[in-house]
Structure 1
Amino acid sequence: MKRVNQYKKLFNVEKEIDLKQLKSTYRNLVKEWHPDKFRETDEKHAEAEVKSKEIIDGYHFLVSIAPQTIEANLEEYNRTINEAGIADYQHKGNLLEISFTNRTTYEYFGVNKKLFIKFISSDKQVRFAKRNIYNSFLYRKSKKDLELQTA
């Protein structure tokens, strides 16, 4: 959730993400922080390079968790959670990453350690995840999954 809040703050997103407004803000931020705007000898150039990468990452991240994106991919997501089994999982901080047997990976934000321990201790992990994780937490399709598909 820390990353979600960090990017929302960067793009001045108050509550729900509006893709049209997000795109407009993104374009303005890119214009403001583009490294070519500064000379390479200027110390602002290095700062602009870092900031522009953060802006690009933040934009793609926020687009991936936007309600319109989730709605557009809902059929595929439901098919995955209902038909594919869990192949692997990782938990770091409050981020749970679940890889499914159909070779897709989703990240779930806000899953605390206590819930994760219940998940891994469950004798029926798929059933536990369906009841307590899949539709209870903010999620997105993982970048790792997208990289596998393009390779």
Structure 2
Amino acid sequence: MKRVNEYKKLFNVEKEIDLKQLKTTYRNLVKEWHPDKFQEGDERFEEAGIKSKQIIDGYHFLVSIAPETKAANLEDYNRTLSEAAIADFQHKGNVLEVSFTDGTTYEYFGVNKALFIKLINSDRQFRFAKRSIFNSFLYRKSKKDAVLQEA
């Protein structure tokens, strides 16, 4: 959740993410912090490069968790949950990354260590995750379909 809040702060997003407003803010920030605006000897040149990458990463991240994006991808998400099984999962900080047998990977934000331990100890991990994690936490598709990339 720290990453979510950090990016929301960068883009002045207070509640729901509005894609139109996000795009406008993104363009303005890119214009302000584009590395080409600064000379190589300028002290802000390196800061602009770092800030520019942060702006681009933040934009793509916020677009991926926006309600409009989630609504557009809901059918695929539900298909994954109904047809695929959990292939692998990792927990780092408060982010649970779940890879499914259909090649998709989703990140779930705000999953604490105690809930992760319950998932590990569950005799039916998919059932536990479906009831306690998949529809309860903010999520985003983090990687493209691995099967399509290999083909």
Using the size of structure 1 for normalisation, the TM-score is 0.96
Deviations 1:97-149 (A, max 9, x none): 0000000000000000000000110000110011000000000001xx22845
Correspondence for 2:37: 37
Relative to structure 1, the CA distance from residue 24 to residue 77 in structure 2 (aligned partners, 3 Å threshold; closer, same or farther) is: same
Deviations 1:80-103 (A, max 9, x none): 011100000000010000000000
Instruction: Indicate yes or no: 2:52 matched with 1:52.
Output: yes
Determine which of 124, 131, 144 is the counterpart of 1:146.
144
Name the % identity.
76
Give unmatched runs, 5+ long, in structure 2. Answer: none
Q: C-alpha root-mean-square deviation of aligned residues, in Å? A: 1.1
State the 1:32 CA deviation: 0.2
Correspondence for 2:22: 22
Answer yes or no: is the 8 Å Cα contact 2:104–2:145 preserved in 1.
no
Partner secondary structure for residue 17 of structure 2: coil
Give unmatched runs, 5+ long, in structure 1. Answer: none
The letter for the 2-side match of 1:54 is Q
Q: 5 Å matches for 1:1-150?
A: 1-142=1-142, 145-146=143-144, 148=146, 149-150=148-149
Partner secondary structure for residue 139 of structure 1: strand
**How many residues matched?**
149
Using the size of structure 2 for normalisation, the TM-score is 0.96
